[in-house]
Amino acid sequence: MAVDARVVGIAGTAKNTGKTTALNAILAAAHPRGVAVAVTSIGYDGEAVDNVTGLPKPRVVLPGGALATTARSCVPPAGWEVLEATGSWTALGEVLLVRCLEPGAIVLAGPNRRSELARVVERVQALGPSLVLVDGALNRLAPMSVASAFILATGAARTADIPALVREAAAMESFFRLPARLPGRAGAPTVVHTPFPSVDELVEASACAEDAPVEFSFLLPVHPDVLVRVTHDRRLRSHVAAVTFYDPVLPLLCGDAVAMAAALQRCRERGVEVGVERPVTLAAVTASPFLPRPQGQRYVADTVPAGALLAAFRSALRSPVVDVVAEGSEALWEAVAAAAAPGSTS
């Protein structure tokens, strides 16, 4: 199945949730299909051993011809061609665009902020790959709003409490399933310019709407509590008709995903429309049973029962849920291809 040059981000809910495994699986599936790939990162992914747990981590392995970004000091001595400097700087120095000449492992490094990632992705796309993968770092998400499709990597490393893990994943999924809506359809849009505004600040900002129904348009993070409280604040001259987030990443960032999902549900119950300006597809969720368990001063690699984990996820989520290690890369590839295909909707 042909895939156009869409940008797919792989985001994790914590360290060791399987981002690199998912990335390697997609790469392994892309190569025999002749899909040209480029891989970048929003941080750094290359240590062989986790610097907190001391446990080994998988390396990113790229096929010949693939493009990647890395830091100058991380370019392998052989097998890679440096194409250009991106002008994007990180704690490791300047990010370079490189091409893989022979299949091999590489340490990924990439721009650490949204504006720079957008610029680098644009540059990479111009070089012709069919698929651009953005590797996440830790549980960071913000720059990845440049992606048009997401893979959410979660697992027992986030929490060994499986019901809580599933609840959180379901809440996160719900943000990707928010309907697309443009601010201004239901009322006068009130754009909020302060991060984490207080209820008072929102009420004050909404005064410009006068007697018209209020539409809050969030480009910056907002606290779930504040959302709930503002929708029934008596100082509002009219009611809150809608709440729009710029994209699904924003509610993901705002704090506790479960609390935010509950807050949005309360808003909907009060008749408030909730949507996102720029929808992003959740292509798949990967669930990793890997669990680093502290033992004295060290950590040992452990797992939760993989079958039970997968079943719990599949019963709660509507998106494809994949255990890459147990099921192979094909299932993940199918999900990504479906999500990245032109005209696909979530």
Partner 1 sequence: MRTERSGPALSRVLDAVDVETYLVCSSAQEGRELARLLGRELNLGDVDVMFEEFDGYGVRVRLRAMVHRPAARYAWLGEVEKEGRG
Partner 2 sequence: MKSILCVPLDPVHDVGIKLIRSALAQRGHRTELLSPDLPAEEVVRRAAAEPWDYIMVSRTLGYGVAEILARFVDLLDAAGVRERSKIVIGGKPVTSELAAELGFDRGFGEHSTVDEVVAYVEGREAGAGATAAARTKPDVTAGFTYDVRHPRVAELLSTITERTLAWAQARTTPALRRVRLREAILDAPEAERNRLWQEYHTLCDGPIAEGNRDGSLPQGVRRVREGEARALRALLAERRAVGARGIRHAGAKPLMFKFLGSGCPVMDIVHAKVCERYGLDGFLLINPSWEARYEGLLDGLLTHENDGTITSEQNIRLVRELLDPASLLTVRAHRGLNTPETVLLAARAGADLTKINLVYGSLGAGTDPERLAVDGLEAMRIAARHGMGFDIPGNDELSGVPAWKSLAGQLATAAIGCALGARPILKPLFCYGPHIVLHGLMADNFVDYNLAKVRSLRSLVDAPIWPGEPIAFMTQTEDRVQSANATSYHAALAATAGVEAITVASTDEAYSRGPIALASRIDSIRAVADAYRFMGGAQLQPTAGVDGFTQRITDGIVTTLEEVARHESLPQAILAGALGNAEDGAYPGTFGRGSVTADGR
Binding positions for partner 2, rule: CB under 8 A: 14-15, 42-47, 51-53, 71, 73, 89-93, 109, 112-115, 137-143, 194-196, 220-221, 223, 249-250, 253, 255, 292, 294
Tell me whether residue 56 or residue 195 sits nearer to partner 1 (CB atom): 56
- The region that residue 260 occupies, defined by phi over 0 for left and psi between -120 and 50 for alpha, beta otherwise, is alpha
What are the structure tokens assigned to 331, written together? Answer: 């299932």
Q: Which does 90 bind (CB under 5 to 8 A by kind): partner 2, partner 1, none?
A: partner 2
Q: Which does 52 bind (CB under 5 to 8 A by kind): partner 1, partner 2, none?
A: partner 2
x/- letters, 19..58, toward partner 1 (CB under 8 A):
---------------------------xxxx-x--x----
Candidates 33, 232, 239, 298; binder of partner 1 (CB under 8 A) is: 298
Q: Which does 54 bind (CB under 5 to 8 A by kind): partner 2, partner 1, none?
A: partner 1
Q: Which does 279 bind (CB under 5 to 8 A by kind): partner 2, partner 1, none?
A: none
Least separation in angstroms between residue 51's CB and partner 1 is: 8
Candidates 64, 73, 305, 330; binder of partner 1 (CB under 8 A) is: 73
Tell me whether residue 48 or residue 164 sits nearer to partner 1 (CB atom): 48
- Run of H or E including 32: none
Q: How many angstroms separate the CA atoms of 124 and 120, rounded?
A: 6
Using CB under 8 A as the binding rule, whether residue 93 contacts partner 1 is answered as no
b (16+ CB within 10 A) / e for 213-239: bbbbbbbbbbbbebbbbbbeeeebeee
Q: Which long-range contacts (CB under 8 A, 24 or more apart) does 260-265 make?
A: 260/171, 260/175, 260/224, 260/227, 261/170, 261/171, 261/172, 261/174, 261/175, 262/171, 262/224, 263/224, 263/225, 263/227, 263/228, 264/174, 264/178, 264/224, 264/227
Residue 301, beta-bridge partner list: 292
Q: Which does 220 bind (CB under 5 to 8 A by kind): partner 2, partner 1, none?
A: partner 2
